[in-house]
Amino acid sequence: MNGEVSHQMHLLMEKFEADDDLWVGVVAARDNTPEKPVFCAGADLKAMSGRGGTWPKRPGNSGGFAGLVQRKRIKPMIAAVHGAALAGGCEIVLASDMVVASTNARFGVPEVKRSLIPAAGGNFRLMQKLPRSIALELILTGDPIPAEKAYELGLVNRLVQPGEELETAIELAKTITVNAPLAVREALRVAREGVSMEDDDAFKLSNERMGYLSTTPDFREGPLAFTEKRAPKWTGKPGDPARL
């Protein structure tokens, strides 16, 4: 991952977030070789040690490393992992909301082996998503864990055979997209922000976002479809905060 690839990822994320017809994103490796499968092995160390760098060289919400790890997102992202997800590759996974991994996947942050730290979110996101002692072992030893262990610890949502990770991730996305898109986004927002809040503040945020949803067309469509015993027809049209 170098600066140019990060910039291309940034552009793709911009398009994804702006397109109302796209509800869930999946990030996966392309042209992965069976002999040496790699989801992402992290930053291009040559670029890091030279002038190229590994972050997008553009203003605005570039998203940081890979155009993703620091991005303010409103839509869910699923990582489909085949092979090694190391260093920045692991941090792409950690920045995603859900993970589908093949049995040949492995996850690690070996930065300390190169006198670096997992500066693209690994230091604190591993502590959020894994038991403290396990997270610290990964961070301080730099040694990876296999997919089966990551699944047991809850880092991975679905564990599949090699070659099935992308299809399974898309199927997981489909189970999300049967739901009201704005409700999914607001639920994701409250889940992310509320987890670090005191209860009173979390309830305030939850009630605020529920109030917003009550101004949307889909808020009426959900109960109506239920009473009429039919599948809902979601529009995804935004609400009007002035009506609150």
Residue with tokens 């038991």: 131
Tell whether 167 and 186 lie within a shared domain. Answer: no
Tell whether 105 and 212 lie within a shared domain. Answer: no
CATH number assigned to the domain comprising residue 7 = 3.90.226.10
Q: What is the pLDDT of residues 197-225, one digit of tens each?
A: 999 999 999 999 999 999 999 999 999 99
The confidence band for 30, taking pLDDT boundaries of 50, 70 and 90, is confident
Tell whether 62 and 157 lie within a shared domain. Answer: yes
Per-residue b or e along 38-57, where b marks 16 or more CB atoms closer than 10 Å to that residue's CB: ebbbbbbeebbeeeebbbbe
CATH number assigned to the domain comprising residue 230 = 1.10.12.10
Measured CA to CA in angstroms, residue 172 lies from 11, 30, 157, 158 at distances of 24, 19, 10, 9
Q: Which of 78, 75, 77, 91 is nearest to 189 (CA)?
A: 75
The confidence band for 55, taking pLDDT boundaries of 50, 70 and 90, is low
pLDDT in the model for residue 59: 45
Taking each helix axis from N to C end, the angle separating 181-194 and 199-213, rounded to the nearest 10 degrees, works out to: 170
pLDDT in the model for residue 54: 53
- As a whole number of angstroms, the distance between CA 122 and CA 20 comes to 30
pLDDT of 56 higher than 60: no
Mean pLDDT of 130-159: 98
Taking each helix axis from N to C end, the angle separating 122-129 and 88-95, rounded to the nearest 10 degrees, works out to: 50
Measured CA to CA in angstroms, residue 59 lies from 53, 63, 67, 133 at distances of 15, 10, 12, 38
Mean pLDDT of 135-152: 98
Residues 167 and 26 sit within 8 Å (Cβ to Cβ): no
pLDDT in the model for residue 1: 87
Helix H, strand E, coil C: the string for 61-129 is CCCCHHHCCCCCCCCCEEEEECCEEECHHHHHHHHCCEEEEECCCEEECHHHHHCCCCCCCHHHHHHHH
Mean pLDDT of 171-176: 98
The confidence band for 15, taking pLDDT boundaries of 50, 70 and 90, is very high
Tell whether 140 and 109 lie within a shared domain. Answer: yes
Number of domains into which the chain is organized: 2
pLDDT in the model for residue 3: 84
Q: What is the pLDDT of residues 99-139, one digit of tens each?
A: 999 999 999 999 999 999 999 999 999 999 999 999 999 99
Tell whether 173 and 185 lie within a shared domain. Answer: no
Strand-pairing partners, residue 100, are: 80, 158
Mean pLDDT of 16-35: 86
Number of Cβ within 10 Å of residue 195's Cβ equals 9
Name the residue range of residue 132's domain.
3-177
Catalytic residue numbers read 91, 111
Mean pLDDT of 170-176: 98
Tell whether 84 and 156 lie within a shared domain. Answer: yes
Average confidence score pLDDT of the chain: 91
- 68: its two tokens: 């993703």
